Amino acid sequence: MPDKSRRDFLKKTAAIGAGITALSSPNAKAGPENILSPDRMGVLVDTTVCVGCRNCEWACKDAHGLPAGNLETYEDRKILETKRRPDHTALTVVNEYSHGKNSNLPVDVKVQCMHCDHPACVSACIVGAFSKHENGTVTWDSDMCIGCRYCMAACPFQIPAFEYDKALHPMIMKCDFCFDRTKEGKLPACVSICPVEALTYGTRTELVKIARDRIKRNPDRYVNHVFGEYEVGGTSWLYLASKDFVELDFPMLGKNPAPGVSESIQHGIFAYFVPPVSLYALLGGIMWITKRRKELEEEGKI
Amino acid sequence: MSHESVNPVPIKHKYFTPGVIALAIVAVNGLVFLMGRFFFGLGAVTNLNNQYPWGLWIGVDVAAGVALAAGGFTTAALGHVMHREEYHAIVRPALLTAMLGYTFVAIGVFVDIGRWYFIWHPLLMWNGNSALFEVGICVMIYMTVLYIEFLPIFTERFIGKVNLPGFLSILNKPADKVLRILDKGLSKTMFIFIIAGVVLSTLHQSSLGTLMVIAGPKMHPLWQTPILPLLFLLSAVAVGFPMVIFESLIASRSLKLKPEMHILSRLGSMIAPLLGIYLAFKLGDMFIRKTFVYLGEFNTASIMFTIELLFGVIIPLRMFLSPKVLKSRPLLFTASALVVFGVLLNRINNFIVAYNPPYSTSSYFPSFGEISVTLGFVALLVLAYRFIVLNFPVISLPTKPTAPKTKFMIRGEEK
């Protein structure tokens, strides 16, 4: 597990105690990995099926050791009157919107990390604390994070949350796609509890096919758009809806990966260190020439 | 060494004045709120939240701080790389400003990050894709370079004058020896650091602009552009000399010195072209991306953009083109202050005003605590600057024109 080896590396460096030795150590990995496996997993959220029972919210808290309370209290639908965002107390929330086409029922939308194929957080993080794993999951490593919150500025879905009330060791909180559960072959907590099968867990390729198939068979039920199929280069979580995604508060995003432009600028400036080294040489040359000219001038005067 | 008569000396002036006491109060007020941040978390002192992860401290203390410290590398390039020795008198004050500026940038980062005790992590954990990583590493190295560049001022102050108290006085001679060796080694290798300083500055000044590119559509189109790194670099280069003039005129007034108007005027004459290049790219970008349509809307973004461009670039550009402005102390000061204001506002706009998260319920405005800490840092910086120029040879006193030109510089004879 890459996560584990990094943690081991940290422990090792701590044991050595000297930063300099670690710098030259071959263990020091440059940047986080970004693997895109063809078998990476995802979840298809069919918002036309979701009934807004919020059991997923409870299961998520329960699975992540957050105060979850009694499951029965989640039956209170009053909370759906206000729009909520995931934060450090809840990694997923359900919001309710007015009905879509061909139905009088409200539309409920579960919100959590989208687990992008080309995550902005992974690219942005100053220390590479975020990783995109082979199974599609985007995780955050508490041992590395310095709390700079650049991931939050970078995320196009405004997902990572920060514990502003903590003076020591504040965490970045976001859905981790139940990384520990899926490793053991279990379903993500939310998928496993959903009583109406609004959430389908499977390989992303398969889920796109299922989503397209549902739209084809029920063109009246769905808008012809699988959110997440192409947005910011594709996401692991995919959505089907009965009304325009903008009306459901989804952000309007292009097809290009969020970190595309910044990474090409970054690698352009630092292409194998050629630009900085040439600039150094150029300035050195100018310095030498101007100095020489000055000296000649002075000699000429004498 | 320079044959132009440059004569930096510790300025003889008393430290405490009513202004200094006022600054000290502002500094203490800031430190009190800073303690709140360390004891009760960022949320207790700042208005930051999950919608607005970055606020005043990143926008002003860090981003604007780095830009306004650009005088350090622009004057180093002019004075040392181009060997324009007539400007040597302003290199040291600019270097001091840069050194203190970057020190406070580092402190600003330290207090803003949630886990300040992990601030060393980027040294070991590298992410080459991250613009912030590049900025962090470059700023760390450049700060070290600035301290090395400042070392000769330190050795010059103490060579031949080492006078340790009490029993430590037996160390006077060895300490002097070490200083002399250091001074000799530094004067031979300084060119390496000076060039490195200029290269590092161009790198991180531009990468600071890359930072917000990844925020994509969360940033208002008036500012979000792929050439942000270039705009940041050009504006940093343009603000370097105005900042030196601004600071030099304030210092000479406060310390009752005669301002070096002949140098400052000549420095001022170089600002208009630099501002012009910046303005050309800024406007060119606006027309190519057709973002001028947003100026028609009457909202915070369009107003702030107009103020930034009009008062921060266009008006001072016109002023610096006028010979009358270059010769007049108050007008030169005003024009320089406008450029400084413009770049400050530009960084605030880029990092705070332009940032518009998709699920924002209310807009961000810095809390009293955040403003207190920022003002406190500015006050501390000014106090440190004052202390150093009163105790170290930084500011050059204008020498009498009758003084004979010496070819060699004498630094406290060896005993």
Chain-chain contact of B115 with A144 (C-beta, under 8 angstroms): no
Chain B contact for A85 (CB, 8 A cutoff): yes
Stated length of chain B: 415
Question: Facing residues of A227 across strands?
Answer: A239
Closest CA to A158 of A72, A74, A239, A93: A93
Chain B contact for A2 (CB, 8 A cutoff): no
Considering only residues A9 and B163, tell me which one the structure prediction assigns the higher pLDDT: B163
Q: Is the pLDDT of residue A247 over 70?
A: yes
pLDDT value for A15? 43
> Among the residues of B255-328, which ranges form H helices?
261-268, 271-288, 293-296, 300-309, 315-320, 323-327
Which residue is it, tokens 């009694």?
Answer: A70
The residues spanned by each domain of chain B are 48-357
Distance between B153 CA and the closest CA of chain A, angstroms: 22
Answer positive or negative: Cα dihedral of B128, B132, B134, B136.
Answer: negative
| Residues whose CB falls within 8 Å of the CB of residue B234, separated by 6 or more in sequence, listed in order | B274, B277, B278, B281
Q: In percent, how much of chain B has pLDDT > 70?
A: 94
User: Do A248 and A142 lie in a common domain?
Assistant: yes
Q: Is the pLDDT of residue A33 over 80?
A: no
Domain containing residue A111: CATH number: 3.30.70.20
A41-46 and A237-240: which strand pairing?
parallel
Q: In percent, how much of chain A has pLDDT > 70?
A: 87
Q: Is the pLDDT of residue B306 over 70?
A: yes
Distance between B382 CA and the closest CA of chain A, angstroms: 27
Chain-chain contact of B226 with A150 (C-beta, under 8 angstroms): no
> What percent of chain A is helix, strand and coil (3-state, nearest 5)?
40, 15, 45
User: Do A20 and A130 lie in a common domain?
Assistant: no
Residue of chain B whose alpha carbon sits nearest to that of A84: B359
User: Do A2 and A78 lie in a common domain?
Assistant: no
Distance, CA of B334 to CA of B249 (rounded, Å): 11
Distance, CA of B64 to CA of B382 (rounded, Å): 16
Please state whether the predicted TM-score (pTM) of the whole model is above 0.90: no
A130-132 and A107-111: which strand pairing?
unpaired
Angle at B141 between CA B242 and CA B6, to 5 degrees: 45
> Among the residues of chain A, which ranges form H helices?
2-16, 19-24, 55-63, 120-124, 150-154, 179-183, 189-193, 204-217, 260-269, 274-301
Does residue A70 lie within any of the structural domains? yes
Q: Is-contact A139 A179, C-beta < 8 A? A: yes
User: Do A59 and A85 lie in a common domain?
Assistant: yes
Here the tokens at position A253 are 């995003």
Distance, CA of B98 to CA of A283 (rounded, Å): 20
> CB A258: neighbour CB atoms within 10 A?
29
Distance, CA of B40 to CA of B6 (rounded, Å): 50
Residue A233: band (very low, low, confident or very high) from pLDDT cuts 50, 70, 90: very high
Does residue A100 lie within any of the structural domains? yes
Name chain B contacts of A32, Cβ cutoff 8 Å.
127
Closest CA to B240 of B87, B23, B397, B55: B87
Mean pLDDT of A13-24: 38
Mean pLDDT of A4-14: 46
User: Do A141 and A239 lie in a common domain?
Assistant: yes
Q: Is-contact B218 B356, C-beta < 8 A? A: yes
Q: Is the pLDDT of residue A26 over 60?
A: no
Mean pLDDT of B145-161: 89
Name chain B contacts of A122, Cβ cutoff 8 Å.
129
Backbone angles phi, psi at A204, to 5 degrees: -60, -40
Residues of A numbered 20-39 whose beta carbons fall under 8 angstroms of chain B's beta carbons: which are they? 22-23, 28-32
pLDDT value for A259? 86
Q: Is-contact A97 A81, C-beta < 8 A? A: no
Which residue is it, tokens 């890359």?
Answer: B210
Q: What was the ipTM of the complex prediction?
A: 0.88
User: Do A7 and A148 lie in a common domain?
Assistant: no
Closest CA to B240 of B83, B396, B94: B94
Domain that holds residue A278: 270-301
Distance between B78 CA and the closest CA of chain A, angstroms: 10
Chain-chain contact of A32 with B214 (C-beta, under 8 angstroms): no
Q: Is the pLDDT of residue B4 over 70?
A: no
Least confident of A108-117, A168-177, A268-277, B70-79: A268-277
Q: Is the pLDDT of residue A21 over 50?
A: no
What is the overall mean pLDDT for chain A? Answer: 86
Interface test with B, best of A112, A174, A266, A282 (most B CBs within 10 A): A266
User: Number of structural domains, chain A?
Assistant: 3
Name chain B contacts of A252, Cβ cutoff 8 Å.
217
Here the tokens at position A64 are 């992540």
Closest CA to B136 of B61, B62, B247, B199: B62
Distance, CA of B225 to CA of B231 (rounded, Å): 9
Name chain B contacts of A158, Cβ cutoff 8 Å.
50-51, 218, 357-359
User: Do A249 and A145 lie in a common domain?
Assistant: yes
Q: Which amino acid is at B175?
A: A
Here the tokens at position B335 are 């024009």
Here the tokens at position B163 are 């006078």
Q: Which amino acid is at B360?
A: S
Work out how many CB contacts closer than 8 A connect A with B: 214
Question: Facing residues of A132 across strands?
Answer: A34, A138
User: Do A193 and A288 lie in a common domain?
Assistant: no
**Burial environment of residue B22 by CB neighbours within 10 A (0 to 12, 13 to 18, 19 or more):** exposed
**Burial environment of residue A248 by CB neighbours within 10 A (0 to 12, 13 to 18, 19 or more):** buried
Chain-chain contact of A124 with B130 (C-beta, under 8 angstroms): yes
Q: Is the pLDDT of residue A294 over 50?
A: yes
User: Do A216 and A279 lie in a common domain?
Assistant: no
Burial A117-150 (b: 16+ CB within 10 A, else e): bbbbbbbbbbbbbbbbbebbbbbbbebbbbbbbb
Residue of chain A whose alpha carbon sits nearest to that of B116: A146
User: Do A17 and A90 lie in a common domain?
Assistant: no
Mean pLDDT of B393-403: 69
| Residues whose CB falls within 8 Å of the CB of residue B292, separated by 6 or more in sequence, listed in order | B286
Mean pLDDT of B294-307: 92
| Residues whose CB falls within 8 Å of the CB of residue A298, separated by 6 or more in sequence, listed in order | B3
Chain-chain contact of B355 with A266 (C-beta, under 8 angstroms): no
Distance, CA of B372 to CA of B57 (rounded, Å): 11
Distance, CA of B92 to CA of B395 (rounded, Å): 7
pLDDT value for A279? 87
Mean pLDDT of A187-206: 95
pLDDT value for A16? 39
**Burial environment of residue B349 by CB neighbours within 10 A (0 to 12, 13 to 18, 19 or more):** buried
Q: Which amino acid is at A173?
A: M
Here the tokens at position B251 are 């210092």
Q: Is the pLDDT of residue B406 over 80?
A: no
Q: Is the pLDDT of residue B384 over 60?
A: yes
Considering only residues B38 and B258, tell me which one the structure prediction assigns the higher pLDDT: B38
Does residue A263 lie within any of the structural domains? no
Report which secondary-structure segment, H or E, holds A161.
Answer: strand A161-162
Q: Is the pLDDT of residue B140 over 60?
A: yes
| Residue B178 exposure: Cα atoms within 13 Å on the Cβ side | 8
Q: Is the pLDDT of residue B107 over 60?
A: yes
> CB B218: neighbour CB atoms within 10 A?
21
pLDDT value for B187? 84
Residue A198: band (very low, low, confident or very high) from pLDDT cuts 50, 70, 90: very high
Distance between A233 CA and the closest CA of chain B, angstroms: 14
Distance between A5 CA and the closest CA of chain B, angstroms: 13
Chain-chain contact of A149 with B114 (C-beta, under 8 angstroms): yes
Q: Is the pLDDT of residue A116 over 80?
A: yes
A198 dihedral zone (left: phi>0; alpha: psi -120 to 50; beta): alpha
Which residue is it, tokens 């332009």?
Answer: B354
Residue B362 DSSP symbol: S
Residue B170: band (very low, low, confident or very high) from pLDDT cuts 50, 70, 90: confident
Distance, CA of B204 to CA of B136 (rounded, Å): 8
Q: Is-contact A141 B14, C-beta < 8 A? A: no
Chain-chain contact of B113 with A147 (C-beta, under 8 angstroms): yes
> Among the residues of A74-137, which ranges form H helices?
120-124
B48-357: CATH topology: Formate dehydrogenase/DMSO reductase fold (1.20.1630)
CA dist B330 to A174, B158, B324, Å? 54, 37, 11
Distance between B68 CA and the closest CA of chain A, angstroms: 22
User: Do A162 and A297 lie in a common domain?
Assistant: no
Closest CA to B216 of A100, A36, A195, A262: A262
User: Do A224 and A112 lie in a common domain?
Assistant: yes
Instruction: Give per-residue pLDDT as tens, B32-51.
Output: 999 999 999 999 999 999 99
